[in-house]
Structure 1
């Protein structure tokens, strides 16, 4: 009787996260091809026929690429807020009306045996949001795709046992990299993505209050590396007086390999 999860894929090439309780099985985003998500699900022995729905955070391709395909193939309910539905409807193909549901931003709802809170993030999408999942005193928060971490976001992540948290880029790599300046400016802006250093600063505010397992997520393929992200976040946390092992544990995610299905 527990809350379980696996980050099926995370990165600039596609994102999908699996959440499970005794009575509910949900996918958060489906940003890879249907075939790829099926393969990743199989690696954790997940039968997609058993899913109860897909929650969509926002309409960018790396979060919705397979959403319509999976909804049609497995007759799955698809949940998104109104502005996200308007932005993604023509991108995911026709979905039967009876499978389309609104999930308002900034709202706490009960979904089976789970409470799920949606909260706004700062990203260049129509109305982006992420989620905290709560079951039997355990909490998991997903927070990626934001240009900065606000007090509201920190509040949504407070008391989480597991954080799936954006550590998108190394600022030096991004500034020196091959991206055109307008793309660099977007990533560095308030509606872009959180850097390794900023992830560490935000995490310090959360994990000093309660120990958590932190999964560094949505790493840029071109402007980050797992070892660098982990090292920078850990060094930043240490500078803030937060100790590895005592206050938090760090874990990696991958763009094409799921994390082990584990209990919160």
Structure 2
């Protein structure tokens, strides 16, 4: 299994995953043109996509969905509540391409097993994903206000993890956002802080060489260096060595990460 975070942040989110049999786009929060450019930059022809999965209906996750689905006639999967809540700007999607994937369900496409789980966010029915191919696994956990015990149980043991580290609490509190926006971000249906991310990752990771991509960073209320430093501190306090036991990767709002292989970690 290989993956690339095509874009991550409030301006747009998309993840690409491929196996020998499947090519998936998870969320489509860029314009159709940007999605094409980002896919082609990692050597992927958009016409070869197998399916699109959607985590929730916010525009930074569905901006290019309609254009892309119509242009390439790609099957689209999301839960019924998210289908109903899609913004009108997405436009019509061919009925033959519409598929309902209920929260908590398991979907198999080719050689890829996809497990879904609920997350806490101010959307209709937001979900996270765990992808499994043989003994290789990857999970996507972003856009959530807190990490529940159920989520920790679902993603523990994965080889690669795209995990939200949205904001630094002090930067957010001192920043220019209106208070109602700050309150929403800090709430249980908002976004994870660097500290929240570090605390959760210290519990999730076993130190078997897992790959962690810190995602959905706020461009106004965070810095990549600060997110990495904060998470690293939590991991080191849990006796996890970054660079040996765990690998921390960056994600970007305006360009894809390299296409990386998910390598099955050693199990303790």
Residue 141 in 1 paired to residue 132 in 2?
no
1:178-257 paired onto structure 2 within 5 Å: 178-208=176-206, 210-257=208-255
Confirm or deny: 8 A CA contact 1:139 1:161 kept in the other structure: yes
Match among 154, 166, 177 for residue 164 of structure 2? 166
Contact persistence 1:18–1:28 (CA under 8 A): yes
Matched, 1:123 2:104: no
Q: Give 1:93-132 correspondences, 5 Å limit.
A: 93-132=91-130
Deviation at 1:112, TM superposition (A): 1.1
Q: After superposition, what is the alpha-carbon deviation per residue over 1:131-173, rounded to whole angstroms, capped at 9, x for unaligned?
A: 1100010000000000000011111111100000000000010
Partners of 2:189 and 2:13 lie apart in 1 by 18
**Contact in 1 for aligned 2:104/2:117 (Cα 8 Å):** yes
Map Cα deviations across residues 80-139 of structure 1 (whole Å, 9 max, x no partner). Answer: 100000000634101110010001111122111111000111000000001110001000
Match of 2:69 in 1: 71
- Flag structure 1 segments of 5+ consecutive residues without an equivalent: none
Does residue 11 (structure 1) correspond to residue 9 (structure 2)? The answer is yes
Look up the match of 2:258. 260
Inter-partner Cα distance in structure 1 for 2:36 and 2:207? 38
Check conservation: 2:119, 2:144, Cα contact below 8 A.
yes
How much is the aligned-residue C-alpha RMSD, in angstroms?
1.0
Alignment: residue pair count: 262
1:214-255 deviations in whole A, cap 9, x for unaligned? Answer: 000000011011111111110122123322233211000001
Query: Is 1:55 paired with 2:38?
Result: no
- Which sections of structure 2, spanning at least 5 residues, go unmatched? 263-268
Q: Residue 152 of structure 2 corresponds to which residue in structure 1? A: 154
Distance 1:212 1:194 in 2: 20
Contact persistence 1:160–1:210 (CA under 8 A)? no
- For the 8 Å contact 1:201–1:240, the answer to whether it is kept is no
TM-score under structure 2 length normalisation = 0.96
